[in-house]
Amino acid sequence: MIKPKNIVLSNQDANKDQTPEQGVTTKLRPKTKKPSMFRVLILNDDYTPMEFVVSVLVGIFFKTQEEATQIMLNVHQNGIGTCGVYTYEIAETKVAQVMDAAKRDQHPLQCRLEKA
């Protein structure tokens, strides 16, 4: 393994009488980044039963029966709609769960992930 140049050490060597912290960046705040968020979208089709879409929204996205019915009807009318917004791993897992359930019940329901 190649050792990178140690800038801090050479600084200390040149300033032996100074504190060892010389040349070290002091973190004032911890560096934290907000995770990117992803929308899970469902698409309309002519064959998937409305009840199945509602059951997916309740069972996988934890919507109430009323919320789920609203989202489903909105997708039925507009062609596409948002099930929820999540971090990547959660969004990806939910897409897979929807696709698995649709495949199992032989419905053509499509579900996608999109950067929010």
Quick one: tokens of 58? 């309740």
Collect all residues with Cβ–Cβ distance below 8 Å to 61 and sequence separation of at least 6. Answer: 40, 68, 83, 84, 94
Member of 7, 49, 62, 87 binding ligand TYC (CB under 6 A): 49
Q: Minimum distance between the CB of residue 108 and ligand TYC, rounded to whole angstroms?
A: 8
Pick between residue 23 and residue 76 the one whose CB is nearest to ligand TYC: 76
Residues 63-102 that bind ligand TYC (CB under 6 A): 72, 75-76
Q: How far apart (Å, rounded) are the C-alpha atoms in residues 5 and 9?
A: 9
Among 12-20, 30-38, 46-54, 96-104, the segment contacting ligand TYC (CB under 6 A): 46-54
Q: Is 108 exposed, middle or buried (0-12, 13-18, 19+ CB in 10 A)?
A: exposed
Pick between residue 72 and residue 86 the one whose CB is nearest to ligand TYC: 72
112 counts as binding ligand TYC under rule CB under 6 A? no
